[in-house]
Structure 1
Amino acid sequence: MSPSPRSLRRTNPISVVLALLLAVGFIYFIFSEPSDGAASNQIRDATKSAANALSPPSLPFRKPKDDEELVATPVVHYMMSNLTNSAEAEAKQETVLILTPLARFYQEYWDNLLSLSYPHELISLGFILPKGKDGNTATQLLQEQVAKTQSGSKSKRFASITILRQDTESPLQTQSEHERHKLENQKARRAAMSKARNSLLFTTLGPRTSWVLWLDSDIIETPPTLIQDLAAHDKPVIVPNCFQRFYNKELGRMDVRPYDFNSWVDSPTAQAMGEKMGKDDILLEGYPEMATYRTLMAYMVEPDGDTTKEVQLDGVGGTALLVKADVHRDGAMFPPFAFYHLIETEGFAKMASRLGWKSWGLPNYFVFHYNE
């Protein structure tokens, strides 16, 4: 008996080959990882609106209109191994999260923020403001500028902006520069600052964030290429030198002076002081009552020096601090307690070092602090 057409189809070699090719293709599709191109597309998609309020906080979320239904919470797959933080941050479209604890609003700060040349569609902003009258005023002024910027030129708009309000008031009665820098106020003030920084970081750090730039609200002048310049060093933690412009009466002209003394190289004297301290005591820099004899980056400036010169540091200030997001994801945060007798940003540098991440400084590269 000759075979029927149906049985021929079952044993046709072409059908078998096609079935095998389809099976292999399906298995490859399921188990393969996205290419670098796919990863960069994911990063570019970070500028789109989030579908739901529970989406990653680094994406903007727009509330639906009254006649619209809420979209179901999305399930998103992130390939964190494809996320880069490199010396070519802008070319690779790496996203930057700029975080600012803000007790007072300075228009000069906002204007300088807008002048940053890094593509704003790759920048997310996060702010945390204290409870109380001063915080209310600062929040109102900030929201006015946010509304103006986000409804203005597309090139100036940021990918997302998050504003947090603390549930506690500042431990200081006033935010004046004189009061902020009194020695007796430092432990309580910087512990409160640490808690604010940690709350802001843990709330806003998203799975697409490559870099975190900590920028104080009273930093009013930086190079427009600040992000590109700092990222080009490809360091896990890097800080520029923070100075202040002022009128020098002796010289009869404008001059500059060091402002932030928290970026330093440790000394045997400071280490010996720490060994004699109680477990909750902290070392502070820049006070004659506590002479540590550390090498301060503020005094490493070279006239007409190379702005790209690097020095390794043991402590860092937070006025303008660029951190690879991986450092924070590894657990490096700002201790609000004595951590090896260090607190806040200096304690952060120590914690990052214990996790294997080194800190670096640029003694000849400047940002400028507001002068009250």
Structure 2
Amino acid sequence: MPAIPRAIRRTNPITILLAGLLSLGFLAFIFSPSSNAATTSTAKRKFDSAAAHPLSPPTAPFQKTASSAKGKRPPPPVVHYHMNNLTTTSDPVANEENVLILTPLARFYQGYWDNLLALSYPHSLIALGFITPKTREGNAATAALQAAIAQTQNGPEEKRFASITILRQDFDPPIASQDESERHKKENQKARRSAMSRARNSLLFTTIGPSTSWVLWLDSDIIESPPSLIQDLTSYDKPVIVPNCFQRYRNDKGAWDVRPYDYNSWQDSQTAADLAAKMAPDDILIEGYSDMATYRTLMAKTADVTEGRDQKQSNTAGWGWRDRIAGQSRGS
């Protein structure tokens, strides 16, 4: 009878059986499909929408490619975008429509950022864009924003945004302070609004991409808004919809109350048209100043703010508070 090798004699049959079962379990784990369909779908969507090159629109995250042996990246490819597949519907979640939220940011408010994090719209479909002034306040706001971004983008995946862009203004701000009393002075409005338009145009044209379905302008001092804000606004299926803004204040009785704040949406009047006809090309006509009465129908003054209002019937899409300022959205 031939001798049994020493190594085999010392091997327990139970050990061999356990090793075999462990191997089978490992192979099943490797080759079986993931049970988390939502995670797989999110990851695939991010990969499919990723930019193909650093020069691609920044609203899509860029997936870096390996450099060549000489350390040089390949030239930019010719990218084809199928714009016919882009939709803007009243059910953007089901249709996976990308939303670009843009904010000129001179001061950072934690309440504003908390509202972004609380949005119930899938964050994988949201791109953020910011532009900040090169001032002491702007530098502080940029630092606070970067800290908030780092914490969010390194946190739970469902809270992360598809992409975030921060721009710095390349021109000096027209006024030094962003205090409400200073920025609402009538003599500051022309220069201030001109700078605002310039900054907003730079932000929009730099960040909008071929997959952007909706653009939401959201001021940085909006510190309370509903998590369903995007779904509320898109549900009206309008090309443009404007939110009203209301301000919290202490009334004569010392109690908190609200009042219309934003007068930038109106139905024009003949008085305003006559005033504009007499103005120079560089003059502007603005609301909220007693010495420039236009008698326009202000949207903020027509909003139904009663507690029992039918929000859909009154063409109202929700509430938001803006640095003690509220926004009630209405169709344009």
TM-score interval (norm. to shorter): 0.7 to 0.9
Q: Deviations over 1:60-103 (max 9, x none)?
A: 23667999864553332111122101111111010000000011
From 319, 323, 326, give the equivalent of 1:366: 319
Point out the structure with max Rg over C-alpha. 2
CA distance in 1, matches of 2:324, 2:90: 33
Aligned residue number for residue 258 of structure 1: 260
- The match for 1:81 is 84
The answer to whether 1:125 aligns with 2:128 is yes
Deviation at 1:282, TM superposition (A): 1.1
Counterparts of 1:45-56 in structure 2 under 5 Å?
Answer: 45=46, 48-56=49-57
Judge conservation of contact 2:100–2:128 (CA < 8 Å) in 1. Answer: yes
CA contact (8 A) 2:268 2:296 kept: yes
Any idea what SS the aligned residue of 2:158 has? coil
Task: Name the residue aligned to 1:308.
Answer: 312
Q: CA deviation at 1:308?
A: 2.5
Aligned to 1:104: 107
How far 1:305 moved relative to its partner?
2.6
Q: Assess if the C-alpha contact under 8 Å between 2:232 and 2:317 holds in 1.
A: no
1:270 maps to 2:275: no
SS at match of 2:116: helix
Instruction: Measure, in 2, the Cα distance between the counterparts of 1:265 and 1:46.
Output: 45
1:199 alignment partner in structure 2: 202
Deviation at 1:168, TM superposition (A): 1.1
Q: d(CA) in 1 for partners of 2:151 and 2:203?
A: 23
Q: Retained in 2: the 8 A contact 1:117–1:225?
A: yes
Q: Give the Cα separation in 2 of the matches to 1:285 and 1:151.
A: 43
Does the CA-based 8 Å contact 1:300-1:363 persist in structure 2? Answer: no
Which aligned pairs between 1:156-235 and structure 2 lie closer than 5 A?
A: 156-235=159-238
**Is the CA contact (8 Å cut-off) linking 2:233 and 2:317 kept in structure 1?**
no
Could you tell me whether the CA contact under 8 Å between 1:130 and 1:169 is conserved in 2?
yes
2:297 matched to which residue of 1?
295
CA distance in 2, matches of 1:46, 1:293: 53
Give the counterpart letter for 1:291 in structure 2: A
One-letter identity of the residue aligned with 2:320: V
| Contact 2:174 2:192 survives alignment (8 Å) | yes
User: Closer, same or farther in 2 for the Cα pair 1:62/1:289, shift >3 Å?
Assistant: farther
Q: By how many angstroms is 1:246 displaced?
A: 2.8
Check the 8 A contact 2:46/2:162 in 1, yes or no: no
**What is the count of residue pairs matched by the alignment?**
280
Q: Match for residue 58 of structure 1?
A: 59
Separation in 1, partners of 2:285, 2:133: 26
Kept after mapping to 2: 8 A contact 1:85/1:210: yes
Contiguous gaps of at least 5 residues in structure 2 = 1-41, 326-332
Deviation at 1:162, TM superposition (A): 0.4
Work out the CA distance in 2 between the residues paired with 1:140 and 1:195.
23
Aligned to 1:344: none
Partner of 2:247: 244
| CA distance, structure 2, for counterparts of residue 90 and residue 363 of structure 1 | 20
2:171 aligns to what SS in structure 1? Answer: strand
Whole-Å Cα distance in 2 between the matches of residues 98 and 253 of structure 1?
Answer: 34
Structure 1 window deviating more from structure 2 (299-308 vs 121-130): it is 299-308
> Could you tell which deviates more after superposition, 67-76 or 111-120?
67-76
CA distance in 1, matches of 2:269, 2:102: 31
How does 1:19-34 map onto structure 2 within 5 Å?
A: none
The normalised TM-score by structure 1 is: 0.70
Per-residue deviation, 1:222:
1.0
User: Is the CA contact 2:226–2:318 (under 8 Å) kept in the aligned structure 1?
Assistant: no
Query: 1:309 offset after TM fit, Å?
Result: 4.5
CA contact (8 A) 1:96 1:210 kept: yes
Amino acid at match of 1:194: S
- TM-score, scaled relative to structure 2: 0.78
Amino acid at match of 1:106: Y
Report percent identity of matched pairs: 60
C-alpha displacement of 1:52: 2.5
Q: Give the residue type in structure 2 aligned to 1:253.
A: A
For residue 369 of structure 1, report the CA deviation from its aligned partner. Answer: 1.3
CA pair 292-88 structure 1, distance change in 2 beyond 3 A: same
Q: CA deviation at 1:233?
A: 0.6
**For the structure 1 residues 230 and 47, does the alpha-carbon distance in structure 2 shift closer, same or farther, using more than 3 Å as the test?**
farther
Give the deviation of 1:133 after TM superposition: 1.5
